[in-house]
Structures are given as C-alpha cells and as structure tokens.
C-alpha cells in the first residue's frame, strides 16, 4: 500500500508567477516522458519481475517518481497562483486556461492529454528494463529542454534536482539488468522469458 | 577493501560481456558520497553520478529550516535505498543507510511534536486532529524566510 508523507521530496518555492512557463512544465506532469508515466510504468512493470532486485528497484523508483509528480504539480500550481486577467490571457497559457483554469491536469505541453500509450509494459524483464533506460534518458532531455527555455531561478533549482534523479535512475536500471543477467543463462540470456518460463 | 572511487565516476564492466546486451557500467562499492545536505541540492549523494547540464548546478545547501533537514535525511535514505537494491552486499553503504535512518526517525519525531504531522497516524497526538493544518506541501509559503 502507499502512505502519504506530508512533505515534498525537495522544496518547491516559486516567488514569481509565470503561466507561460507553467504551460511548458506541465509536460513533465502528464506528457509522454513525464512523471505520471514514469511512476505508472515502473509500478506496473514490477508485477512481472521474477527476481528481488528488480521488484525492489521498480517499487522504489516508481515510488520516488510519485514524489516527483507531486513536485512538478507544485511548480505548476505555484506558477499559476493568483493570476491577473492579463496573465490568464497570456499567449501560450490561454489554451490551457480555457480547458483547466488554474487546475493541474496531466497533459503534454503540446496539448495532448496523458496517454498510457507513452509507456510500455511488455512482461519480459530485459525488454522492460531496457525501455526504462530509454525512459530515463527521454525524461532527462525534457528537463534539459526546460532548463534551456526557463530563466526562473526558483524553477530551475527544482528542475536541476529532478534532472539529476533521471541520471541516477538510469544507472540503477542498468545495474538491475546486470543483476538479471547474472541470474539467467549467461551464454544466451534470451533463451526464455523468466517472467513466464521459470 | 576496494580502493575509494573518489569523484572519478568510473564503474566496472564484466571482462567478457556477452554480445547483444545493453550495458551500463556497475557502480563500484565504496564510492565517495556527499553529506546529505549537499547531496540533496545536487540531486545525488554520489559525486561520480553528479553530471550537470551546461554547467547549471545547484550550489550551497538548503536553507537551515527544520523541514529541510528532514528532506535532506530522507533524500539520503531514498538514494542509498536505490543503491542498496543493486548493491545488497555493500556493508559500508548499509551502515550509512542505517545512520541516516536513525537521524531521520529522531528528527521526524521532534519535527512532528513541534510543527504537526507528516503521517496520518501522528495527527492526533495532542488530543487535537491537526492533519488539516496548512500549508500543504505544494502551497507557496509566503511566510518562509528567504
């Protein structure tokens, strides 16, 4: 089960509102490489993992990603608090405003609502963990791109933290594949699907 | 004892890695770590994994607030937990993990006594249900000092 802890993993305190920036950051909430997809991907993939290292790691990283989802939601919320009428109309935010007001909705910055099609659960440990390596890299690049586009130091402070976590997760998923290989037939790790055939 | 992998960021690959397999070098045991308060602003406890984009790095430490102390400790626990998931035999890392857990439990008990509950089960401690107390974690806290 999950228990809520009433604190963020890393502090989010955005002094200045900026709805246009919020409309970009929202992509890491509900976009194709965002934190909602990350948490669902890992917390779903773990069910078919046959060995303890991968069950544990997917549970722990999936849980951390839920904390990141909360942080990204906090950034969007704080960037859009107490908006003036002019800010509501701001180009780049008006389309979001008409659909969601200042609510936090899982969507990509490009306007596409969250889609489970952006994650995968193949039910084969090597395939799923290889997907996770790619997922961490894509999330890392999205944070790189946000850093390119944002000049708000309060936002960037948090984005740098989140970006660095993707790198650490990539490392751990790589190690989890090695742990997996050591438990398989090393001459041919593709001999069978350990989620099905063990 | 393995030599300390200071800030090198180097790991190890198997000598005969099979073909057609994705490989990420395994982080060596005994890697150097930042203290929790520095690690949390860098986003990792491990200098070898600290790889910023275009030189954009968070310097310094979090402001010295009670909640930030807990965030730093809890971050160290998360980070070492992930590390231990793939390095179950690293006794040095386990010892560090246990130290941070002890500090966190201590700090969390004191914090909740003074500032309110972090978990629902601590919400009725003083004969008053104070779970709903503001601010919630995502809210902008104007009162907090800069």
User: For residue range A27-55, what is the model confidence (pLDDT) as tens digits?
Assistant: 999 999 999 999 999 999 999 999 999 99
A185 close to B (CB below 8 A)? no
User: Do A95 and A12 meet the contact criterion of CB atoms below 8 Å apart?
Assistant: no
Helix (H) or strand (E) run with residue B26 in it: strand B26-27
* pLDDT for B144: 76
Is A7 within the bounds of a domain? no
Looking from the CA of A191 toward its CB, the CA atoms found within 13 Å total 10
pLDDT of residue B14: 83
- B52·A176 Cβ contact <8 A: no
CA distances from B119 to A80, A127, B90, B125 (A): 28, 37, 31, 11
Angle at B85 between CA B80 and CA B86, to 5 degrees: 105
Tell whether A46 is within 8 A of chain B (Cβ).
no
SS3 label, residue A61: helix
Distance from CA of A101 to the nearest CA of B (A): 17
Nearest to A168 among B44, B119, B140 (CB): B44
How many angstroms away from the CA of B4 is the closest CA of chain A? Answer: 19
Ranges of residues in chain A whose predicted pLDDT is under 70: none
Q: Which residue has the tokens 């970006």?
A: A163
Q: For residue B53, is pLDDT > 80?
A: yes
Burial B42-71 (b: 16+ CB within 10 A, else e): bbbbbbbbbeebeeeebeeebeeeebbbbb
From chain A, pick out residues whose CB is under 8 angstroms from the CB of B20.
190
Helix-then-strand count for chain A, H and E: 9, 0
CA distance B121 to B118: 9
Residue A97's CATH number: 1.20.1260.10
The residue that leads in pLDDT, A47 or B141, is A47
Q: Does A176 lie at the interface with B, CB-CB under 8 angstroms? A: yes
> What was the pLDDT predicted at B4?
58
The values of phi and psi at residue B38, to 5°, are: -85, -40
Minimum Cα–Cα distance from A171: chain B residue: B24
pLDDT at B1: 39
**Is pLDDT of B19 > 60?**
yes
- Cα–Cα distance, B69 to B80 (Å, whole number): 17
B chain contacts of residue A73, beta-carbon cutoff 8 Å: 138
Whether A6 maps to a domain, the answer reads: no
Structure ipTM: 0.96
User: Chain centroid to CA A132: how far?
Assistant: 11
Give strand pairing partners of B12: B26
| pLDDT higher than threshold 60 for residue B3 | no
Q: What is the pLDDT of residue A176?
A: 98
pLDDT value of residue B5: 56
Q: What integer pLDDT is reported at residue A155 of this predicted model?
A: 98
Q: Do B24 and A177 touch (CB under 8 A)?
A: yes
pLDDT confidence tier of residue B6, bands split at 50, 70 and 90: low
Residue B30's SS3 state is: coil
CA–CA separation, A48 and B97 (whole Å): 28
On the question of pLDDT at B2 being above 90, the answer is no
Asked if the structure places residue A3 within a domain, the reply is no
The verdict on residue A85 lying in a domain is yes
Domain that holds residue A37: 19-197
For range B89-93, the mean pLDDT:
96
Considering Cα of A151, then A171, then A31, then A145, what sign does the dihedral take?
positive
In-domain check, residue A165: yes
**Residue A13 included in any domain:** no
pLDDT value, residue A198: 87
More confident residue, A109 or B3: A109
For residues A182, A184, A189, A191, the Cα torsion angle rounded to the nearest 10 degrees is 170
Question: Please, which residues have CB within 8 angstroms of residue B15's CB and are 6 or more apart in sequence?
Answer: none
B89-108 mean pLDDT: 97
Question: Token digits for B71?
Answer: 């965030």
Residue B56 forms beta bridges with which residues? B53
The tokens for B75 are: 């971050």
For chain A, the domain total comes to 1
CB contact under 8 A, B53 and A133: no
Element (H, E) at B27: strand B26-27
Interface contact B138-A78, CB threshold 8 A: yes
- Tell me the C-alpha distance between A24 and A17, whole Å: 13
Residue found under tokens 């859009």:
A80
Chain B residue nearest residue A7, CA to CA: B137
Give the three-class secondary structure for A72. Answer: helix
Q: What is the pLDDT of residue B25?
A: 94
pLDDT at B9: 84
Q: Which residue of B has its CA nearest to A146?
A: B53
> Does the pLDDT of residue B61 top 80, yes or no?
yes
Extents of the domains making up chain B: 11-122
pTM: 0.96
Strands (E), B10-115: 11-12, 26-27
């Amino acid at each position: 089960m999950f228990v809520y802890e009433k604190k963020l993993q890393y502090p989010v305190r955005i002094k200045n509102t900026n709805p246009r920036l919020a409309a970009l950051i929202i992509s890491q909430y509900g976009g194709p490489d965002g934190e909602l997809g990350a948490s669902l991907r890992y917390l779903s993939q773990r069910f078919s993992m046959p060995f303890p290292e991968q069950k544990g790691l997917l549970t722990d990283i999936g849980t951390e990603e839920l904390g990141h989802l909360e942080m990204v939601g906090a950034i969007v919320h704080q960037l859009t608090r107490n908006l003036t009428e002019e800010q509501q109309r701001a180009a780049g935010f008006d389309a979001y405003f008409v659909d969601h007001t200042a609510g936090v909705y899982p969507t990509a910055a490009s306007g596409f609502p969250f889609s489970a099609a952006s994650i995968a659960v193949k039910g084969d440990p090597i395939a799923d963990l290889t997907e996770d390596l790619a997922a961490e890299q894509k999330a890392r690049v999205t944070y790189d791109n946000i850093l390119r586009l944002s000049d708000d130091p309060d936002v960037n402070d948090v984005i740098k933290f989140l970006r660095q976590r993707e790198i650490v997760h990539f490392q751990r998923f790589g190690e989890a594949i090695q742990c997996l290989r050591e438990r398989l037939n090393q001459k041919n790790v593709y001999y069978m699907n350990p989620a099905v055939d063990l | 004892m393995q030599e300390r992998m200071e800030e090198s960021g180097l790991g190890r690959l198997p000598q005969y890695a099979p073909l057609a397999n994705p490989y990420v070098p395994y982080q060596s045991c005994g890697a150097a770590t930042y203290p929790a308060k520095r690690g949390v602003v860098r986003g990792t406890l491990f200098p070898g994994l600290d790889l910023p984009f275009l030189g954009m790095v968070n310097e310094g430490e979090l402001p010295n607030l009670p909640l930030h102390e807990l965030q730093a400790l809890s971050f160290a626990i998360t980070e070492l937990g992930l590390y231990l998931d793939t390095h179950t035999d690293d006794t040095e890392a386990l010892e560090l993990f246990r130290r941070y857990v002890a500090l966190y439990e201590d700090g969390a008990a004191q914090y909740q006594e003074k500032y309110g509950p972090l978990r629902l089960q601590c919400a009725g401690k003083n004969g008053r249900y104070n779970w709903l107390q503001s601010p919630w974690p995502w809210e902008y806290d104007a009162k907090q000092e800069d």
